[in-house]
Amino acid sequence: MASFYDEMAGNKTRTYLLFVVFLFLIFLVSYAFGVYVGVGQYGVSFAVIISVLLTLVMYYQSDKIVLASTGAREASKNEFPHLVHTVEGLAIAAGIPMPRVYVMEDESINAFATGRDPQHAIVAVTTGALKKLNRLELEGVIAHELSHVKNYDIRVMMLATVFAGAVILLSDLFVRSAFWGGGNRQGRGGAGFVVLLGFLFAILSPLFAQLIKLAISRQREFLADASGAQLTRYPDGLAAALEKIGKDGARMQRASEATAHLFISNPFKSSFTNWFSTHPPLQERIKKLRAM
For the segment 256-272, what is each residue's pLDDT rounded down to a tens digit? 777 788 899 988 765 55
Which portions of the chain are predicted below pLDDT 50? 40, 183, 185-191
Q: Is 124 helix (H, G, I), strand (E, B) or coil?
A: strand
The answer to whether residues 209 and 47 touch, using CB atoms and an 8 Å cutoff, is no
Catalytic residue among 7, 139, 145, 221: 145
193 CB contacts (<8 Å, ≥6 apart)?
Answer: none
Break the chain into its structural domains and give their ranges.
4-290
Cα 216 to the center of its chain, rounded Å: 7
- In this prediction, residue 109 carries a pLDDT of 96
Q: Write the DSSP symbol of residue 125.
A: E
| pTM across the whole model | 0.80
Strand partners, 165: none
Indicate if 145 belongs to the active site.
Answer: yes
**Number of other CB atoms surrounding residue 155 within 10 Å:** 12
- In this prediction, residue 186 carries a pLDDT of 46
Q: Rounded to whole angstroms, what are the CA distances from 44 to 39, 47, 169, 242, 253?
A: 9, 5, 9, 42, 40
